């Protein structure tokens, strides 16, 4: 079991995790599985099959940005388990640019993958979530909550995830479905590997962070697991920063930074 987990907290429950081949998605899947969930992992990377096999989960390889992905994902989960209790919207892409340097293809790719695909998947899964008891947890970003130069399309899409969370919490609360999100800061994943090796990035982004380090994917997974559990039974419409304090405060870099 993952450190800090509670054995059996998700016993009898089925979770669908997107973008689960690696990083936050894989860590979340492992955490939920360790606590008793049955899982379907989805990703466009074929490696998702190995990630799923390692934790006894089912997998589906597909492009989540395709128009058919949501219905295919819901059908696969229902075919494998007969129910869906938890949806974790994690799939997304990084590497955005300033708006002035963004052509239509780049804008469409980021908005389609990081926002529209999430709306479609959520819409397809929604009819199958239990009322009450369903959970939707999505991955936004601190870039969707604060202005950061050079990331316009990515940041706008992630801001959309944050607002989707608030909107669906309002719409689905009376039915007993809870909708929340996490907003990670800098996480040690394949997406940030190049940045973390850059001295300027470390000085500009990590050094001002109160905890002065990047997070492990498992640290984000722990918050997602909380939001998906009964421990969060009176929490909805929230976008929780998992960012080492970056949104709340800035430290001046030390001379050695």
Tell me how far apart the alpha carbons of residues 98 and 188 are, in angstroms, rounded to a whole number. Answer: 23
Most distant CA pair in the chain: distance in Å?
58
The conformational region for residue 13 under phi > 0 = left, psi -120 to 50 = alpha, else beta, is: beta
* Residue labelled with tokens 């990331």: 151
Strands (E), the chain: 14-18, 38-43, 58-61, 86-89, 135-139, 178-184, 239-242
* Residue labelled with tokens 């976008």: 239
Phi, psi angles (nearest 5°) of residue 6: -120, 115
Token pair for 175: 């039915």
* Residue labelled with tokens 């009176």: 234
The catalytically annotated residue of 154, 200, 201, 234 is 154
Pinpoint the alpha helices (H) of 55-151. 69-81, 104-111, 117-125
234 is catalytic: no
Alpha carbons within 13 A on the beta-carbon side of 248 = 9
DSSP 209: S
Which are the catalytic amino acids?
154
């Amino acid at each position: 079991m993952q450190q800090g987990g509670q054995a059996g907290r998700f016993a009898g429950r089925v979770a669908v995790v997107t973008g689960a081949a690696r990083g936050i998605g894989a860590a979340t899947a492992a955490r939920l599985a360790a606590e008793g969930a049955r899982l379907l992992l989805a990703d466009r990377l074929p490696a998702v099959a190995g990630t799923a096999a390692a934790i006894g989960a089912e997998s589906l390889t597909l492009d989540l940005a395709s128009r058919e992905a949501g219905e295919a994902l819901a059908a696969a989960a229902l075919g494998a388990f007969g129910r869906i209790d938890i949806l974790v919207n994690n799939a997304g892409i990084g590497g955005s640019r300033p708006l002035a340097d963004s052509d239509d293809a780049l804008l469409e790719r980021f908005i389609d993958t990081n926002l529209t695909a999430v709306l479609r998947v959520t819409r397809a899964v929604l009819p199958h979530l239990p009322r009450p008891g369903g959970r939707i947890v999505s991955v936004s970003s601190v870039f969707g909550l604060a202005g950061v130069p050079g990331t316009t399309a990515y940041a706008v899409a992630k801001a959309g995830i944050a607002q989707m969370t608030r909107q669906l919490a309002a719409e689905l609360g009376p039915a007993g479905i809870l909708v929340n999100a996490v907003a990670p800061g800098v996480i040690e994943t394949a997406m940030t590997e190049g940045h973390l090796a850059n001295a300027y990035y470390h000085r500009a982004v990590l050094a001002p962070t109160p905890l002065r380090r990047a997070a492990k994917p498992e640290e984000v997974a722990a918050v997602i697991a909380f939001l998906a559990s009964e421990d969060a039974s009176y929490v909805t419409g929230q976008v929780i920063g998992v960012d080492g304090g970056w949104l709340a405060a800035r430290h001046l870099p030390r001379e050695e930074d």
